[in-house]
């Protein structure tokens, strides 16, 4: 029995992939949960200076960041770490995390979620107007086990 290439492998060229504007920055999905049988999701995100992801918790998946370009501050449970090109950060599920582009130009990250259901959350966010209504983001997050963490509770 032979397996068709489309079932045995996934190839995404540099100008392909589903793109959604998440928090105003384009997130290009290289693999979604649907592509990997739920095992993981992988996306490239371009991030404007000063922008990033606000504090949040992934209750069902680990999240990893690999910096392709730029300088970022990744905060995990209140501890900040500056990361740059070639640096990697792995954040376990349940930890409060955020990241900000700390540079003066656009930065690029590879972001992986394991397992991959979080991709549906980010695709849903990308369909919201910017800036998104936080009530809608919270409702979407509740569906996927992603909790926004607001200062003062």
Output the pTM of the full model.
0.90
Q: Does domain 15-147 have CATH number 3.40.190.10?
A: no
Q: Regarding predicted confidence, which is higher, 136 or 150?
A: 136
Judge whether residue 2 has pLDDT over 80. Answer: no
User: What is the 3-state composition of the chain as percent helix, strand, coil, each rounded to the nearest 5?
Assistant: 15, 40, 40
User: Mean pLDDT for the chain?
Assistant: 92
C-alpha span between 62 and 145 (Å, rounded): 12
Phi, psi of 6 (to 5 degrees): -65, -20
């Amino acid at each position: 029995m032979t397996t068709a290439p489309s079932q045995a492998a996934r190839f995404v060229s540099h100008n392909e992939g589903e793109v959604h504007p998440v928090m105003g920055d384009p997130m290009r999905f290289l693999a979604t949960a649907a592509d990997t049988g739920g095992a993981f999701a992988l996306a490239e995100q371009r991030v404007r200076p000063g922008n990033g992801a606000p504090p949040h918790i992934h209750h069902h998946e680990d999240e990893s960041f690999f910096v392709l370009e730029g300088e970022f501050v990744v905060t995990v449970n209140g501890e900040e770490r500056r990361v740059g090109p070639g640096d990697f950060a792995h954040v376990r599920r349940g930890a409060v995390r955020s990241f900000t582009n700390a540079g003066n130009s656009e930065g690029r990250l590879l972001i992986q979620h394991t397992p991959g259901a979080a991709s549906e959350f980010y695709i849903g966010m990308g369909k919201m107007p910017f800036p998104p209504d936080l009530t809608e983001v919270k409702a979407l997050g509740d569906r996927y086990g992603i909790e926004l963490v607001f200062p003062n509770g």
